[in-house]
Amino acid sequence: MKLARLIFPALACGLLCVPAMARAAEPVRAKVDTQAVDRAFDETVARYQLPGLAVGIVEDGKVVYARTTGELAAGGGVKIDADTLFKIASNSKAMTTGLLARLVDAGKLEWDDPVTKYLPDFRMYDPWVTREMQVRDLLIHNSGLGAGAGDLMLWPGPNHFSRADVIHGLRYLKPVYSFRSRYAYDNTLYIVAGEVAAAAGGAPYETLVRRELFGPLGMTRCQVGEWNRDAVGNVAQPHARRDGRNVVAGEDDAVVPNVPMMAAGGIRCSLRDMLAWVTMWLEPETSGLVDGKPWLSPAQREAVWSPQTIMPLSRRMRDWDDSHYSAYGYGWRLADVDGTQKVSHTGTLSGMYSAVTLLPQAHVGFVILINTDADDARTVLNQVLVKHFTAPAQRRTVAEYADELDRDARTAKVERPLPDTSSRQPATAAALGDRIGVYRDPWFGDVAICPAGDGVRFASDKSPLMVGDVMRSGDRLLVQWRGSGADTEPWLEFGPATSTPVTLKMSKIDPDADFSSDFEDLSFVRVGDCRGGG
């Protein structure tokens, strides 16, 4: 997804957004209409041909709706149920910030502590930013880095980057905005946040999550760190839509690794466990108590849900929700919908989509888990559920929202068509000449652009799924990926052949592709010949 630029400082949200929340009228507390939700559920599955879907709703502290459909792997015959594990992706962020809030409650850190207090070797590109970066800044997407900066160290996975590699690599990522000036979504700083939690809490991040979150809240199926797929069992696999059918894309290995991006998007949970998580946030005085006390103090609950960075207020938010503000807290997105507060987040990984939405004033929350690429499906179903509680008289359907998204997509395609690369042909080593060789970027490491058979292969040293064939399209070069690991194709843009050393830049062929394919942040120089002659 693409993010609009933001031109106001975060302070403005404290002046504008909080009063808007305070003035919001108390919504009508109506019981869920399960038949209406069933219709939306069925229409979404049919419209988008989903391989699997799990939806749950909490109202007044009770699970009032929980439904699943589909299979762990399409055609495998094993049904999804309320205990099936899904990748919750960036909904992991709220768990990381919840853990940090628990540590604040315990007196083990403060939100405005400098990051270097806990990680002395932490560095950003600008030494001043390094000194000024506080724990809170790791969580609110205002670092000055571009959207998704450094994400190629995280995806596609698994890869050979460690958390230490990711944190070290931050010092080479050049900012594109001033520090604390605007919103631009990032994942890498959440990895830093996870390591800050480990340093302050005196135990690895995974241990702290199990001890401070999963255990007290009874989230018995959730997984963090390394675990055995078959021993745990009942694990949904990611899918993609190919040739008119759903196929598994990126199946888990027998041992699910402890990936670097765990604190940003690596946790997996079941619908049942996610509903326990939602219930704790909605009913803190009665749900998820630890020794008879709320899991978080009122002060830290307020801190986590306080607007920190203004987010763009899109036309769709204004048209669909009558929204007046949009902001980011600590791991949560904050907005108003039809005069009531909405606290939410989404999670997106290749082949897995999730959504968590809370309407605290209505004492309602819901969870959506999907095991395929399903941006529009998640959007329309989540929207129907929100409006079910905030504006039930509107009665807009899945089809209405879906048709509107389709119209918007067609318009965008006309206004910004993709470059035509249909004439692509394999490039040859002879044509590339002295540009054949090994290239190095300071944060991404080495890639080899070397002869392979009659063509030329691009292969990353530390991200082994990023392997493909160099192709020529007109007077430009691109990489056509092999397999399903990488999904956004890049242009290759070599510097002048006469330059020493030869340089290489990359950019997305589709400028609207997901920002996590941050090829534009790479800056390669040629460091040697191809190893072993190819």
Domain-located, residue 493:
yes
Of residues 20 and 53, the one with the higher pLDDT is 53
Residue 31, Cβ density class (10 Å: 0-12 exposed, 13-18 middle, ≥19 buried) = exposed
Give the angle 212-214-218 at the CA atoms, nearest 5°.
120
Say whether the peptide bond before residue 158 is cis (omega within 30 degrees of 0): yes
Give me 246's structure tokens. 């759903």
- Residues 348-379: pLDDT tens digits? 998 999 999 999 999 999 999 999 999 999 99
Which of residues 384, 413, 442 is at a domain's end? 413
pLDDT at 249: 92
Last residue of a domain, one of 355, 388, 413: 413
Rg (CA), the chain: 23
In this structure, the answer to whether residues 201 and 87 fall within a common structural domain is yes
The verdict on residue 475 lying in a domain is yes
Q: Are residues 376 and 464 in the same domain?
A: no
Confidence of residue 486 (pLDDT cuts 50, 70, 90): confident
Which pLDDT score, from 0 to 100, does residue 534 have? 52
Shared domain check, 379 and 252: yes
pLDDT of residue 483: 79
Tokens, residue 247: 């196929």
Residues in a beta bridge with 455: 452
State the Cα–Cα distance between residues 483 and 29, nearest whole angstrom: 50
Q: Distance (Å, rounded) from C-alpha 97 to C-alpha 139?
A: 8
CA distance 63 to 205: 30
Chain centroid, CA 522 distance in Å = 21
- Between CA 417 and CA 425, with CA 420 as vertex, the angle to 5 degrees is 160
Q: What is the 3-state secondary structure (H, E, C) of 50-119?
A: CCEEEEEEEECCEEEEEEEEEECCCCCCCECCCCCEEECHHHHHHHHHHHHHHHHHCCCCCCCCEHHHCC
CATH number at residue 433: 2.40.128
Domain termination site, one of 382, 413, 444? 413
Predicted confidence (pLDDT) at residue 404 exceeds the cutoff of 50: yes
Residue 52 lies in a domain: yes
Give domain status of residue 125, yes or no.
Answer: no
- Which CATH number belongs to the domain containing residue 370 in this structure? 3.40.710.10
Based on the domain organization, do 445 and 342 belong to the same domain? no
The pLDDT of residue 29 is above 80? no
Whether 342 and 249 share a structural domain? yes
pLDDT, position 477: 98
Q: Which amino acid is at 343?
A: V
The predicted pLDDT at position 30 comes to 55
Looking up tokens 């990126």 gives: 250
Which residues contact residue 19 at a Cβ distance below 8 angstroms, ignoring those fewer than 6 apart? none
- The whole-number average pLDDT for the span 5-33 is 43
Q: Which of 476, 482, 433, 487 is nearest to 457 (CA)?
A: 482
Tokens of 180: 């604390």
Interstrand relation of 245-248 and 333-337 (parallel, antiparallel or unpaired): unpaired
**Are 311 and 436 part of one and the same domain?**
no
The model's confidence at residue 25, banded by pLDDT at 50, 70 and 90, is very low
CA torsion 492-496-497-500 (nearest 10°) is: -110
Taking the C-alpha atoms of residue 465 and residue 519, their distance in angstroms, rounded to an integer, is 15
**Side chain identity, residue 315:** R
Q: What share of the chain is helix, strand, coil (3-state, %, to 5)?
A: 35, 25, 40
Indicate left, alpha or beta for 532 from its phi (over 0: left) and psi (-120 to 50: alpha). left
Name the phi and psi angles at 155, rounded to 5.
-130, 150
Averaged pLDDT, 246-261: 95
Provide φ and ψ at 189, rounded to 5°.
-70, -20
Closest to 1 in 3D by CA, of 314, 361, 390: 314
Assess whether 397 and 452 both reside in one domain: no
Residue 482 CA, chain-centre distance (Å), reads 24
Question: Does the residue 24 lie in any domain?
Answer: yes
Residue 159: inside a domain, yes or no? no
What is residue 288's predicted lDDT score, i.e. its pLDDT?
Answer: 93
Is the domain of 351 the same as that of 241? yes
Q: Is the pLDDT of residue 28 over 60?
A: no
From start to end of 114-216, where are the E strands? none
Residue 421, number of CB atoms within 10 A of its CB: 16
Distance of CA 383 to CAs 298, 321, 340, Å?
29, 9, 14
Range of the structural domain that residue 517 is part of: 425-533
Q: Is residue 163 part of a domain?
A: no
Strand, coil or helix: 439? strand
How many Cβ atoms sit within 10 Å of the Cβ of residue 311? 22
Rounded to 5°, angle at Cα 317 from 313 and 323: 80
Tokens found for residue 298: 């009122």
Q: What is the pLDDT of residue 31?
A: 79
Q: What is the pLDDT of residue 436?
A: 96
Q: What's the domain count of the chain?
A: 2
Q: With left for phi above 0 and alpha for psi between -120 and 50, is residue 384 left, alpha or beta?
A: alpha
Could you give the angle at which helices 92-105 and 188-201 cross, rounded to 10 degrees? 30
pLDDT band at 17 (very low <50, low <70, confident <90, very high): very low
Determine whether 193 is exposed, middle or buried from the number of CB atoms within 10 Å of its CB (0-12, 13-18, 19+): buried
Give whole-number Cα distances, 109 to 112, 118, 136, 140, 510, in Å: 9, 9, 11, 17, 42
The answer on 443 and 296 residing in a single domain is no
pTM of the model: 0.93
Same-domain pairing of 342 and 432:
no
442 and 331 part of one domain: no
DSSP, collapsed to helix, strand or coil, labels residue 527 as strand
Residues 433 and 378 reside in one and the same domain: no
Domain membership of residue 266 (yes or no) is yes
Cβ atoms of 373 and 350 closer than 8 Å: yes
pLDDT tens digits, 192-247:
999 999 999 999 999 999 999 999 999 999 999 999 999 999 999 999 999 999 99
Tens of pLDDT, residues 89-140: 999 999 999 999 999 999 999 999 999 999 999 999 999 999 999 999 999 9
